[in-house]
Structure 1
Amino acid sequence: MAVGSGKLSRFWNAARTYFAHDDPLVATANLVALVVLWNQPFYPLYVYWSVGPDIAPTCYTFISTPFFLAVPALARVNGRAGRALLPLAGIGNTVLSAKVFGVASGVEIFLLPCVLLGFVLFRPTERVISIVIAAAGLLAFTALHGHYGEPVHTYSVEEYAGFLKMNALSAGTLTAFIGLLVMDLIGRRVGG
């Protein structure tokens, strides 16, 4: 075994332990946080390929990285708080991205999986938390849409079309992934 492969194996084992949890809802939140974290470093490349070479504004999206990374740690202290942090971090990242890229980028579509997470990560006895998170996502759209001012960088009409297509595909994929996770949760609950 090569020296580097041992370090990589230890890293993967540590990451698996960090994101694991006995509560299936917390484990689901942790997995979604991991997927978001895994994709964040590639976001500038997605923008480069889909929109154009001006990727400097994508650096703002890394402000949310510590919040997504904190989801499992917070969940170990308080499962509800950890589960709530995930959609709230997503809403915050979406609002920031709408300011940075402009609403024409279509980035606000990421509020949909955030609202969905607010509903699927909580038990019926925690319904108030779900409603508050969903209200925060809907309020972010209704109150802020069109009120962000000038974006940090303005893109061309063609670039915004690429942005919209990229964000719709990404948000749709994330929503579908959440749906698959919910199917697994339901399957465990009803034994099917």
Structure 2
Amino acid sequence: MSLLANPIETVRAYARNPDPRVAAANVIALVVASNQPFYPLYLFWLVSDDITAAWFTFLSTPFFLAVPAVSRWNDTAGRALLPLAGIGNTVLSAWLFGTASAVEIFLIPCGVISLLLFRPRERLVALAITAIAFGVFLLLHDVYGPPLAHYDATEYAALSRLNLISASTLTAFVALIFSGVLAEAERSSNAAGDKKTG
């Protein structure tokens, strides 16, 4: 247990931020990055032993890992990097696996994350990134060309299920993170109210 304590604390320290929205972005980014190495394994176990295309998805990993570092430099840029990296990874995956893989479903959590990460005064940034997510689907869906990966109908059905489950799980995780952010904000508000009445 002690061997794991220092690496875990290092990751926690890297993700930590006094701004709850920035901290949420950092946690989500690091969870996504930590799950990316498992994608080729899921693909191998559930879809096909041809996982060549999956290795290219690691091109996006450094961007997710950089979110906390960028946030320390500029918290708006750091928060924006998270959904933009997700959109970029989705575009790359759609080219690698084809739209029959249903990988474009990940544009939905990208849009949701964009809308949740920014405050009302930053709404223009949130709406712009969300528009990019949906614009990517509308404009690129039919222009990717032949995918790098070649699967049969059964394998594509399995890959679609994998992507749908993964995107749904990510969306649920994001909702859980932000329910915690809202709960903390409510507790802070109640505490401030108690001090005033006291």
Relative to the length of structure 1, the TM-score reads: 0.95
* 1:40-119 paired onto structure 2 within 5 Å: 40-119=36-115
Report the number of matched residues. 188
Q: CA deviation at 1:13?
A: 1.8
Query: Post-superposition shift, 1:45?
Result: 0.6
Counterpart CA distance in 2 for 1:27 and 1:52 is: 37
Q: CA RMSD in A?
A: 1.2
Cα deviation, residue 10, structure 1: 2.2
CA distance in 2, matches of 1:131, 1:87: 12
Structure 1 window deviating more from structure 2 (86-95 vs 150-159): it is 150-159
1:161: which partner in 2?
157
Distance in structure 1 (CA, Å) of the matches to 2:58 and 2:19: 28
Contact 2:104 2:137 survives alignment (8 Å): yes
Query: Partners in 1 of 2:147 and 2:12 — Cα distance?
Result: 38
Amino acid at match of 1:67: F
Unaligned 5+ runs, structure 1: none
Shift of 1:155: 0.8
Match of 1:141 among 132, 137, 140: 137
Contact 2:101-2:156 at 8 Å conserved across structures = yes
Q: How far apart are 1:11 and its partner, in Å? A: 1.9
CA displacement 1:91-141 (0-9 Å, x = unmatched):
000000000000000100000000001000000000000011000000110
What is residue 10 of structure 2 aligned with on the other side? 14
- One-letter amino acid of the structure 1 residue matched with residue 179 of structure 2: M
**Aligned match of 2:124 in 121, 124, 128?**
128
Once the two structures are aligned, what percentage of the paired residues are identical? 52
Amino acid at match of 1:180: L
Tell me, in whole angstroms, the C-alpha distance in 1 between the residues paired with 2:169 and 2:141.
23
- Secondary structure, in 3 states, of the residue corresponding to 2:150? coil
Mapped partners of 1:177, 1:30: distance in 2:
13
- Tell me which amino acid in the other structure corresponds to 2:142: G
CA distance in 1, matches of 2:72, 2:176: 24
1:170 has 2:166 as partner: yes
Distance 1:39 1:146 in 2: 28
Task: Tell me how far apart the structure 2 counterparts of residues 62 and 40 of structure 1 sit (CA, whole Å).
Answer: 7
Give the match for residue 196 of structure 2.
Answer: none
The secondary structure found in structure 2 opposite 1:148 is coil
- Structure 1 residue 78: Cα displacement: 0.5
Query: Residue 33 of structure 1: SS of its match in structure 2?
Result: helix
**2:29 match:** 33
CA shift at 1:186, angstroms?
Answer: 1.4
Q: After TM superposition, give the deviation of residue 163 of structure 1 in Å.
A: 0.5
Contact in 1 for aligned 2:94/2:103 (Cα 8 Å): yes
